[in-house]
Chain A
Amino acid sequence: MSQAWHEIVLEVLKANEIRLIPYVPDNVLKPLIAAIHADPFFTAFTTAREEEAVGIVAGGAMAGMRGMVLMQTSGFATLANVLASLPCAFQIPVLLMISERGTLGEFNLGQAAVWRTMRPTLEALAMPHQVITRLDECGFIADRVIRQALMTQQPAALVLSPLLTGAKASPVKAGS
């Protein structure tokens, strides 16, 4: 039987010594968060804002402890200033994992609206990013994006598409 996406991600994080995992929770990320908390390899905790988590991972990275921030799309939308002026400007490999909400059956108009800002923001920051849509590509993309970020001293984002995670659409029918 093939591994679930979150099992693959967990293995990639461990293989690349990514230990420091501050996050703002998301329902789709729940199995990954649970597995990270269950494994003493990781130092994982919630933060009040995603900006705070970016600062923590930047500090950790400079001091020799690699990390990744977990968040959802709306959380990423709070980050343009700190990404531009901290990991981008200082060339620190801060890694982001973004659970993609707002597309492919989103029921919340606010999430759908903020989703439209994600790719333009990543592109405007010239920040390397890859969207993971397929289980058979998940390990390769996650591993290569992380390794490139570490080797080139650049921040990078991994976007987990609903095509990968099976994030549920609203059970409510349109117009009902």
Chain B
Amino acid sequence: MATTAHNAKRLHRFDATKRLVARLQREEAVIGGIGHSNFDLWAAGHRPQNFYMLGSMGLAVPIALGVALAQPQRRVFALEGDGSLLMQLGCLATVATLRPANLAILVMDNGTYQITGGQATPAAGGADYVAIARGCGIAGAAWAADEADLERLIDNALATDGPHLIGLKLDDQGPAAQTERDPPQIRDRFMRGLGTKTSKLPG
């Protein structure tokens, strides 16, 4: 039986993020959404192909889509929180229409706005992000049943054509660290990591 929103194990976000990062061997780009989604990406160990958002809530998937369209040979992951995705649900329809084969979306669903005090999102009535994604046309969208299943789904996203969407049910554990907030530096390093900027300045 397929994993549903109700029987998916609640994972720790930092542990799940580390499992993703450990499987990235080919300079895959990762866009960390606003707040704790990118804090834990940062805490998992900076990679030159990481981009950490600061504001622009809801744009992790669109930014990742832009990167995926520009560099079709590179795999691109968006790490987006559930509250953030709710701000820009229409982007799932866009992704389904464009069908970028190299794009994977991880929805980090703890059901709350954790960074502002843990208030419940308006999806508390039972909105199911994987079902929404499938309804938009991302046919392979799936909830991760547990840690091993998450790793299987990430491997699948790395090895097969997407777009992919993986839903992660999370517990309420806080972030492991806080990202350094220096946007031009983040952009500069990300562009060097993607090979779109070269500089004699040490980076």
Residue from B54, B62, B67, B89 in contact with A53 in the complex, judged by beta carbons closer than 8 Å? B62
Query: Inside 8 A of B59's CB, which chain A residues have their CB?
Result: 51-52, 54-55, 58, 82, 86
Query: Inside 8 A of A157's CB, which chain B residues have their CB?
Result: none
**Chain B window 59-71, contacts with chain A (Cβ cutoff 8 Å), 1 for yes, 0 for no:** 1111111111111
A64-B90 CB under 8 A given contacts A20-B66, A51-B59, A59-B66:
no
Is there contact, CB below 8 Å, between A91 and B187? yes
A147 and B29 CA atoms in complex are apart in Å by 27
Query: Inside 8 A of A53's CB, which chain B residues have their CB?
Result: 62
A63-B55 CB under 8 A given contacts A45-B97, A90-B184, A91-B187:
no
Query: Inside 8 A of B14's CB, which chain A residues have their CB?
Result: none
A61-B183 CB under 8 A given contacts A45-B98, A51-B58:
no
Residue from A55, A61, A63 in contact with B62 in the complex, judged by beta carbons closer than 8 Å? A55
17 A-B residue pairs with Cβ-Cβ distance under 8 Å, sorted by A, are A20-B70, A45-B98, A48-B89, A51-B59, A52-B91, A55-B88, A56-B66, A58-B59, A59-B63, A59-B65, A60-B66, A62-B196, A65-B66, A81-B56, A90-B54, A90-B184, A92-B187
Top 9 A-B pairs ranked by shortest CB distance? Answer: A48-B90, A59-B66, A85-B55, A55-B62, A65-B70, A55-B59, A63-B70, A60-B66, A59-B63
Is there contact, CB below 8 Å, between A55 and B71? no
Secondary structure of the A contact surface, majority rule = helix
Which of A's residues lie within 8 Å of B, judged by CB?
A: 20, 43, 45-49, 51-65, 67, 81-82, 84-86, 89-92
- Tell me the minimal C-beta distance from B145 to chain A in angstroms: 30
- Name A67's closest neighbour in chain B (CB-CB): B66
- Name B90's closest neighbour in chain A (CB-CB): A48
State which size class the interface on B falls in. Answer: 35 or more
Residue from A43, A46, A55, A91 in contact with B63 in the complex, judged by beta carbons closer than 8 Å? A55
A64 and B183 CA atoms in complex are apart in Å by 18
- Tell me the minimal C-beta distance from B44 to chain A in angstroms: 21
Is there contact, CB below 8 Å, between A58 and B183? no
Is there contact, CB below 8 Å, between B183 and A91? yes
Residue from B51, B55, B94, B196 in contact with A47 in the complex, judged by beta carbons closer than 8 Å? B94
Query: Inside 8 A of B186's CB, which chain A residues have their CB?
Result: 90
Most buried by B among A55, A65, A89: A55
A84 and B183 CA atoms in complex are apart in Å by 12
- Name A20's closest neighbour in chain B (CB-CB): B69
A64-B66 CB under 8 A given contacts A89-B55, A89-B183, A90-B187:
no
Query: Inside 8 A of A56's CB, which chain B residues have their CB?
Result: 62-63, 65-66, 69
Query: Inside 8 A of A62's CB, which chain B residues have their CB?
Result: 51, 66-67, 187, 190-191, 194, 196
Residues of B156-203 at the interface with A, using a CB-CB cut-off of 8 Å, are 183-184, 186-187, 190-191, 194-196
- Name B57's closest neighbour in chain A (CB-CB): A81
Is there contact, CB below 8 Å, between B183 and A63? no
Indicate whether B31 reaches chain A with its CB closer than 8 angstroms.
yes
Query: Inside 8 A of B98's CB, which chain A residues have their CB?
Result: 45
Query: Inside 8 A of B90's CB, which chain A residues have their CB?
Result: 47-49, 52
Is there contact, CB below 8 Å, between B70 and A60? yes
**Chain B window 70-114, contacts with chain A (Cβ cutoff 8 Å), 1 for yes, 0 for no:** 110010000000000000111101100110000000000000000
A90 and B190 CA atoms in complex are apart in Å by 11
- Tell me the minimal C-beta distance from A51 to chain B in angstroms: 7
